[in-house]
């Protein structure tokens, strides 16, 4: 079974690559970085998909710099909307199932209860807006799709909050982190394993799903757990969002309801604190 992974140089793509090296299933992964396959180029995407008999395409390619999306709107729109549409069109032509990664940022964070898949999407930033429009482009052009919304993704690969906190913790004596934005950290390996499970199950339960680890945290809670796990001694101060202004507004509450994906695929999802322990060990092994 041939499986295309786009955006393969990012943290989720690298995580899937690491998992693929340990699987003994008859899965043939082809990893394409954004330089190797530009999803904003429809002709290139069509050629890749129609000539290689892919059963699945896992789209990890995205413009994910939330703040930069507010100014670099053209590129964010091209990658997150046009790119998603190009993949959907091409997958439809080649009878390929598309597994697309989306985000909790499609919600405004005003609900104050976990968001399920039927909740109204109301992005408050340009990044979230492009990701939601990318979802719609897929739904309108391809029936055989899985759209997985996730939150606060981190891993031992790429650039992410965990690695940034470790770096800053080793550079500084004190650090301020916001405590009034609440969500769920998600270890990329857990998400990658769910994606591979869906593929191996040959599921036809297409649609939109939420996936994150279990539990709830603020960014302050997440940072403290990282420092405790790494035995980093630092004075950590909780601050409100207005004390740390950013170009893009973040949702204050973006906890995802995961009942649909748990019941559909009979999943037991790890708590974020348990997965963080595993991620920190993996990070330490790489850095050793």
Reported as a single tens digit per residue, the pLDDT across 103-140 is 999 999 999 899 999 999 999 999 999 999 999 999 99
What is the distance between the alpha carbons of residues 27 and 111, in angstroms, rounded to a whole number? Answer: 41
Measured distance CA(125)–CA(131) in Å, rounded: 10
Instruction: Compute φ and ψ for 137, nearest 5 degrees.
Output: -65, -35
7-26 pLDDT, tens digit each: 999 999 999 999 998 876 78
Quote the pLDDT of residue 24.
63
Q: Are 93 and 42 in contact (CB under 8 A)?
A: no
- Residue 217 pairs in a beta bridge with 183
What's the average model confidence in pLDDT over 73-91? Answer: 98
Cβ distance 250 to 241 under 8 Å? yes
Annotate 94-104 with b (16+ C-beta within 10 A) or e (fewer): bebbbbbbbbb
- Show which residues are catalytic: 127
> What is the homologous superfamily of the domain 2-160+185-214+255-269 according to CATH?
NAD(P)-binding Rossmann-like Domain (3.40.50.720)
Residue 287: its pLDDT value, please? 86
Locus of tokens 């909780």? 238
- pLDDT tens for 167-202 read 999 999 999 999 999 999 999 999 999 999 999 999
Q: Are 103 and 124 contacting, i.e. CB atoms less than 8 angstroms apart?
A: no
Residues facing 98 on adjacent strands: 57, 145
What is the torsional sign of CA 153, 155, 158, 164?
positive
What b/e sequence results for 46-84 when a residue is b if at least 16 CB atoms lie within 10 Å of its CB, and e otherwise?
Answer: bebbeeeebbbbbbbbbbbebebbbeeeeebbbbbbbbb
pLDDT at 274 over 80: yes
Q: Are 105 and 65 in contact (CB under 8 A)?
A: no
0.85 cut: is pTM over it? yes
Using an 8 Å Cβ cutoff, are 56 and 30 in contact? no
Beta bridge partner(s), residue 54:
2
Please tell me the predicted confidence (pLDDT) of residue 138: 98
């Amino acid at each position: 079974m041939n499986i295309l992974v786009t955006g393969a140089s990012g943290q989720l793509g690298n995580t899937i690559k690491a998992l693929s090296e340990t699987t003994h299933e008859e899965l043939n992964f082809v990893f394409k970085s954004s330089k190797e396959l530009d999803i904003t180029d429809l002709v290139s995407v069509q050629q890749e998909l129609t000539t290689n008999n892919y059963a699945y395409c896992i789209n990890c390619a995205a413009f994910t710099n939330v703040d930069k999306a507010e100014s670099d709107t053209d590129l964010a729109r091209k990658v997150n909307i046009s790119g998603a549409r190009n993949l959907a069109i091409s997958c439809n032509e080649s009878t390929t199932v598309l597994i697309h990664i989306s985000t909790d940022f499609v919600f405004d964070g005003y609900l104050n209860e976990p968001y399920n898949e039927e909740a109204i999407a109301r992005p408050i930033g340009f990044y979230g807006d492009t990701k939601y429009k990318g979802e719609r482009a897929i739904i309108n052009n391809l029936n055989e799709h899985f759209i997985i919304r996730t939150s606060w993704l981190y891993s031992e690969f790429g650039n992410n909050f965990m690695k940034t906190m470790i770096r800053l913790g080793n550079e500084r004596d004190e650090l301020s982190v916001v405590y009034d934005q609440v969500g769920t950290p998600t270890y990329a390996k857990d998400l990658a394993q769910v994606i591979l499970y869906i593929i191996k199950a040959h599921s036809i339960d297409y649609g939109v799903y939420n996936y994150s680890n279990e539990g709830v945290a603020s960014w302050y809670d997440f940072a403290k757990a990282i420092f405790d796990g790494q035995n980093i001694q630092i004075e950590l101060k909780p601050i409100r969002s207005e004390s740390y202004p950013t170009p893009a507004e973040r949702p204050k509450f973006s906890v995802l309801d995961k009942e649909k994906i748990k019941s559909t695929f009979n999943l037991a999802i790890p708590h974020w604190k348990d997965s963080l322990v595993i991620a920190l060990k993996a990070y330490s092994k790489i850095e050793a």
